[in-house]
Amino acid sequence: MSGAAVRRVSGTAAVLCGLGTWLPPHAVTNDDLARELDTSDAWIRSRTGIGTRFIAAPSTATSDLAVEAGRRALKSAEADSVDAVVLATTTPDHPCPATAPLVAAQLGLGTVPAFDVGAVCTGFLYALATGAGLIATGTAGSVLVIGADTYSRILDPADRSTRAIFGDGAGAVVLRSGGADEPGALGPPVLGSDGTGSDLITVRSGGSREPLHTTGPIGTGDGGDAGDTNDAGDAPQPDPYFRMAGKAVFRNAVERMADASLTAARRAGWEVADIDRLVAHQANLRILHAVADRMRLPRHRCPVHLDQVGNTAAASIPLALSHAAATGRLTPGHRTLLTAFGGGLTWGACALRWPALTPM
């Protein structure tokens, strides 16, 4: 590392100036899954486009992945300090406290503000928008934005539809204050949510609605009989696993990502023909194609990375950016849209001209 702070240019735009990623070393192929579950390489490839995913070792938590990606993003930005850390994750190390302060401490970033953002697979874009907001308000001159998830910890070992899709990983970018016309400057983020669809992607138990412990809530005067929902007799079995209504999520993902992308492009003053790259949340190859088709964007302008890493949730956009840049699919000056969709339901999109940087 250079020992330098992030170079800042006066201005209130957030400029992406560093990119780092990290994957755990253990790869799980479709054939590996087929030895355990009633599935096949042919089914997974044809229905999702996924070939491999990476799974964290039992001793590796989300913060470990986040620290590695964050360290690489700082190196890519040639900096060793930032003014804030925003971490998007659905799989924090613990329910409490947030994971970001631990990551900031392990990166040697001192006492900077650090907090988690929860927007499931849209988390990275929500964190990016939050980081841009910290810069716009003058709260921070530079922000480390990380997306990191270890979905392997929340998947039902017997659920072939989610096990086929999700993998672990982390990606991070550094934002600095700068001018809106600079390469890397983020356009106004487009964000949305629809809580009427909150049941489509869930981890039902383990929160305040359905705690995993069985002692019952305190302060109710009866040692556990707080009402109807947790009565020992008729309460449903706790379900600590990630559940997804695949088909409904698929349909929503296509519509929301396409529409948010078109809005972000319009706000950037771009026609569809101007969009060089649409770097979308890597959920399913059929979703990527359907989003491109709905936008009337040639499919080849959507870089694909899920074949190698699966759906890495909050990490998927920075991982896809890094892979596209490393393979020459994304080059400086490209008019680039980022888009994602996830549980909540949540979605988002953001425009930028790709800057000259070296992903680490």
- Known catalytic residues? 121, 281, 311
Q: Is 242 in the site for ligand UT7 (CB under 6 A)?
A: no
How big is the site for ligand UT7, counted in residues (CB under 6 A)?
21
State both tokens at 99: 């994971």
Q: Give the range of 5-13, 160-168, 257-265, 266-274 binding ligand UT7 by CB under 6 A.
A: 160-168
Q: Is 319 in the site for ligand UT7 (CB under 6 A)?
A: no
74 contacts 174 by C-beta, under 8 angstroms: yes
Smallest distance from ligand UT7 to CB 169, Å: 13
Q: Exactly one of 253, 280, 302, 304 binds ligand UT7 (CB under 6 A); which one?
A: 253
In sequence order, the β-bridge partners of residue 139 are none
Q: Exactly one of 6, 14, 109, 121 binds ligand UT7 (CB under 6 A); which one?
A: 121
∠ CA 275-179-75, nearest 5°, is 85
Complex with ligand UT7: residue 35 or 247, whichever CB lies closer:
247
Q: Is 39 in the site for ligand UT7 (CB under 6 A)?
A: yes
Smallest distance from ligand UT7 to CB 287, Å: 5
Q: Is 339 in the site for ligand UT7 (CB under 6 A)?
A: no
How many C-alpha atoms does 268 have within 13 Å on its Cβ side? 29
What distance, in Å, lies between the first and last C-alpha atoms of the chain? 12
Q: Is 155 in the site for ligand UT7 (CB under 6 A)?
A: no
Q: Is 161 in the site for ligand UT7 (CB under 6 A)?
A: yes
154 contacts 202 by C-beta, under 8 angstroms: no
What element of type H or E holds 22? strand 13-22
Q: Give the range of 53-61, 281-289, 290-298, 301-309 binding ligand UT7 by CB under 6 A.
A: 281-289
Q: Exactly one of 48, 76, 99, 193 binds ligand UT7 (CB under 6 A); which one?
A: 48
Complex with ligand UT7: residue 47 or 153, whichever CB lies closer:
47
Complex with ligand UT7: residue 14 or 249, whichever CB lies closer:
249
Q: Exactly one of 241, 341, 347, 354 binds ligand UT7 (CB under 6 A); which one?
A: 341
Q: Is 200 in the site for ligand UT7 (CB under 6 A)?
A: no
Q: Give the range of 72-80, 89-97, 188-196, 249-257 binding ligand UT7 by CB under 6 A.
A: 249-257
Complex with ligand UT7: residue 6 or 280, whichever CB lies closer:
280
What 3-state class would DSSP assign to 205?
coil
For residues 272-300, b (16+ Cβ closer than 10 Å) or e, as one string?
A: eeebbbbbbbbbbbebbebbbeebebeee
Q: Exactly one of 87, 287, 290, 292 binds ligand UT7 (CB under 6 A); which one?
A: 287
- Phi/psi region, residue 170 (left: phi>0; alpha: psi -120 to 50; beta: rest), is beta
Q: Give the range of 11-19, 66-74, 135-143, 243-251 binding ligand UT7 by CB under 6 A.
A: 243-251
**Nearby residues of 17 by Cβ (< 8 Å), 6 or more positions away:** 6, 7, 77, 174, 175, 176, 184, 355, 357
184 contacts 17 by C-beta, under 8 angstroms: yes
Q: Give the range of 37-45, 205-213, 222-230, 292-300 binding ligand UT7 by CB under 6 A.
A: 37-45
DSSP string, 112-167: --EEEE--GGGHHHHHHHHHHHHHHTTS-SEEEEEEEE-GGGTS-TT-HHHHTTB-
Q: Is 284 in the site for ligand UT7 (CB under 6 A)?
A: yes
What element of type H or E holds 106? helix 100-106
d(CA 106, CA 71) in angstroms, rounded, equals: 10
318 contacts 173 by C-beta, under 8 angstroms: yes
Q: Is 185 in the site for ligand UT7 (CB under 6 A)?
A: no
- Residues that bind ligand UT7 in the complex, under the rule CB under 6 A: 39, 43-44, 47-48, 121, 160-161, 164-165, 246-247, 249-250, 253, 283-284, 287, 311, 341-342
